[in-house]
Amino acid sequence: MNYIDFAIASSIFIIFFGVALMFSTNYFSNLSSLTKTSEFRSVSENFFKIFFESKGTPENWDDYSNTPVKIGLAEELYLVSVLVRETNGSSRTDEPVTAQIIFDENCQNKSWNNTVRIYDENWNQMNLETSNTTFCNSQYLNQSNITWNVNISANQIKKYYFYYSPDNGITNPNYAALTYNTSSWVPSDRDAWTETTANWREYTSLSSENITNDTTYKIRGNSSVNITGIFADGLEYWPSSSITGVSNGWYIDTWLYIDDVTYLSAVYILLASGSTSITGSLQENISGNMTSSTWYHFVKKLDPNIWETKIGSFNASKGIRTIQFYAQDSTSGLTRTFKIDGLHFKKEPLEVKTFPEEKITAVSGTKLDILKNISYDDARKTVGENYKFSLDIGNETYGGNINMSTNVGCSEYPKIVEYKNGTVSKTLAKMCVWK
């Protein structure tokens, strides 16, 4: 071998050795970096559970001004799902639906009044109205009837979600009054006929002279229709032209009140159909359901086969000519007061099914707001590990500033959040850890 060959071979060996050394250095350097990233990722998982899935120590640390022993942002949030089904084969627009929600059967203070929210399947918050509400104590709910407006196509099924919590720091949502105006009702607001004395007359005299509006005793709106007289007597709704837009598949819905039902032998509701002259009628005696000075809610399908008495050929599609409410008294000479409110016709009610309550772990917006008032260094001390961290929940951020040139491990998962204003949303929660 001459000196030239030796020089060439040495050069090749040096180059090969240099490349091997470079790859080895990069490999072990990357291995160290990967090890660090894996470590930080594992720590970030642990930090995620500490902050987003535990309540902290004490659990109600947000009620105190001191830094807690352990910071946890979790709270208990409750969910009741409601299924609404259209079964009549007709679309509904802004139709009010009511579901009875039992918030806290055993009164364990699970549902603060201000926290109730309802969302559709696309996380759109719905306006709601409460009625017949009972409380456990203070403003903690026991149960309530919740009404909201539904837009649904023929034979469609929709799901709605009620969220609530025991957080008494949530502000009042101040819902606007629901809009009662839907083509599923005649009249469309379900109350216009009893807000005035127009088209009403006394059953016996056929005069409107003694008909008044009562603004004190009513179910909805501003007033009920009222008559005081010696029975047998009652009220009759006799519009100038027949009521149209109703068919035999619809329902009559109304509220009735009699101050004293003593000695009443019968209380009748009679519907007569026909465009100009009466072609048929349906009649029902409801005296067995009436009690003194108590409103009775009457709902019945306009199906001639299920009414107590049928005369002639009743067909609601021909128009409803008159609606009569009258009583028969087995003892003459007694003066009574008879009231009607909320008289209307409606399509077959939407089918409503309520599912059992679920308890879920959510992020408390109240705790998140209070966390912002705790110094980052103090928060790090509660974790008890020598790591820096940063957490993000939606648009909210807390913690240190991430140096992207260093190794960082992050964990992120969708979480349900109840913000301090009561809004509930599903958003991405993220925890990043580094040194």
In angstroms, rounded to a whole number, what is the distance separating the alpha carbons of residues 282 and 214? 28
Domain identity same for 213 and 339: yes
What does the DSSP 8-state code read for residue 5?
A: H
The CATH code of the domain that includes 340 is: 2.60.120.260
68 and 78 share a domain? no
Domain end (from 298, 325, 360): 360
Q: What is the DSSP string of 368-389?
A: HHHHTTS-HHHHHHHHTSS-EE
Same domain, residue pair 400 and 267: no
65, 97: one domain: no
Are residue 204 and residue 341 in the same domain, yes or no? yes
Same domain, 50 and 84: no
31 inside domain: no
CA distance 416 to 122: 14
333 plus 376 within the same structural domain: no
For residue 7, what pLDDT is reported? 59
CA 12 and chain centroid, separation: 77
Out of 319, 336, 360, pick the residue that ends a domain.
Answer: 360
Q: How wide is the angle at C-alpha 259 spanned by C-alphas 240 and 289, nearest 5°?
A: 85
Q: What is the DSSP string of 134-146?
A: EEEETTEEEEEEE
Q: Which residues pair with 227 in a beta bridge?
A: 338
DSSP state of 350: P
Q: What is the pLDDT of residue 29?
A: 46
**Residue 205 has what pLDDT?**
80
Torsion of CA 294, 299, 304, 309, to 10 degrees: -10
Verify that 341 and 372 share a domain, yes or no: no
Residues 82 and 174 in one domain: yes
Determine whether 32 is exposed, middle or buried from the number of CB atoms within 10 Å of its CB (0-12, 13-18, 19+).
exposed
Instruction: Show the domain range for 192.
Output: 185-346
Instruction: Write the CB contacts of 360 (distance below 8 Å, at least 6 apart in sequence).
Output: 76, 77, 78, 79, 416
Say what the pLDDT of residue 206 is. 79
Q: What are the phi and psi torsion angles at 353 (to 5°)?
A: -125, 125
pLDDT tens string for the chain (435 positions)? Answer: 565 665 565 566 566 555 555 544 444 444 344 456 689 999 999 999 999 999 999 999 998 888 999 999 999 999 999 999 999 899 999 999 999 999 999 999 999 999 999 999 999 999 999 988 999 999 999 999 999 999 999 999 999 999 999 988 888 898 888 888 999 999 999 999 999 999 999 888 878 888 999 999 999 899 999 998 766 678 999 999 999 999 999 999 999 999 999 888 899 999 999 998 899 999 999 999 999 999 999 999 999 999 999 999 999 999 999 999 988 876 666 788 999 999 999 999 999 999 999 999 999 998 999 999 999 999 999 988 889 999 999 889 999 998 776 789 999 999 999 888 889 999 999 999 998
In a domain, 3, yes or no: no
In a domain, 103, yes or no: yes
Asked, for residue 26, whether it belongs to a domain, the answer is: no
Both tokens assigned to 268: 């009748």
Query: Longest C-alpha distance within the chain, in Å?
Result: 143
> Rounded distance, CA 107 to CA 141, Å?
8
Do the domain assignments include residue 32? no
419 φ, ψ (degrees, to nearest 5): -80, 165
What is the domain-level CATH number for residue 129?
2.60.40
Cα separations in angstroms, 320 against 61, 202, 247, 344: 64, 18, 9, 11
Burial 269-307 (b: 16+ CB within 10 A, else e): bbbbbbeeebbbbbbbebeeebeeeebeebebebebeeb
- 194 and 108 in a common domain: no
Rounded Cα distance between 425 and 419, Å, is 8
Q: In this structure, is residue 165 part of a structural domain?
A: yes
Q: What is the pLDDT of residue 329?
A: 79
Q: What is the pTM of this model?
A: 0.76
| pLDDT given for residue 335 in this prediction | 83
Q: Which two structure tokens, joined as six digits, stand for 92?
A: 């509904």
How many domains are there within the chain? 3
Q: How many CB atoms lie within 10 A of CB 173?
A: 16
Q: Note whether residue 213 is domain-resident.
A: yes
Alpha-carbon span 319 to 338, nearest angstrom: 26
> In this structure, which amino acid lies at residue 218?
K
Task: Give the count of beta carbons closer than 10 Å to the beta carbon of residue 191.
Answer: 21
Same domain, 193 and 328: yes
Last residue of a domain, one of 321, 338, 360: 360
What is the C-alpha separation between 177 and 117, in angstroms, rounded? 15
Residues 289 and 261 in one domain: yes
- In a domain? residue 298: yes
Q: Is 313 helix (H, G, I), strand (E, B) or coil?
A: coil
At residue 122, the pLDDT reads 94
C-alpha 395/C-alpha 205 separation (Å) is 70
